Amino acid sequence: MRVRDDDLDEYGVVNNAVHASYIHDARNVLLETLGISIHFWTSTGNTMALSELHLKYFTPLRSGGRFIVKLRVVQIKGVRIIVDHVIETLPNRRYGSQCNRCLPRQKPPSNSRIPGVGVQDTSVFFM
């Protein structure tokens, strides 16, 4: 993916809320790849409500910067899907931000930092 100029704040870096938007877009692509269309899912009366989102930022994304969003399903338990997301800057794959893996009613791991990532986040969904 590439940073667009309208994603920038007044300081010339990607606004923190836009990181969540990048993650949301990548999550939709993953679900569609798995055969789960968001439009079909919601048309059946089901929802995919985000219950938790934790982000930690390290290196800002700047205008014209390139990055990738990596996703990993950590756990599927009952109605919860827990997904790790990582945004890595390209070509050097530096940290942009990181998220602690935080499951409901559990203590986050003491060291959840993943080397070479830009943004790391854990999301918990309810279906």
Q: Which residues are identified as catalytic?
A: 9
10-43 core/surface letters (b: 16 or more CB in 10 A; e: else): eeebbeeebbbebbeebbeebbeeeeeeeeeeee
Rounded Cα distance between 125 and 127, Å, is 7
Amino acid at 25: D
**Residue among 60, 54, 67 nearest 99 (CA):** 54
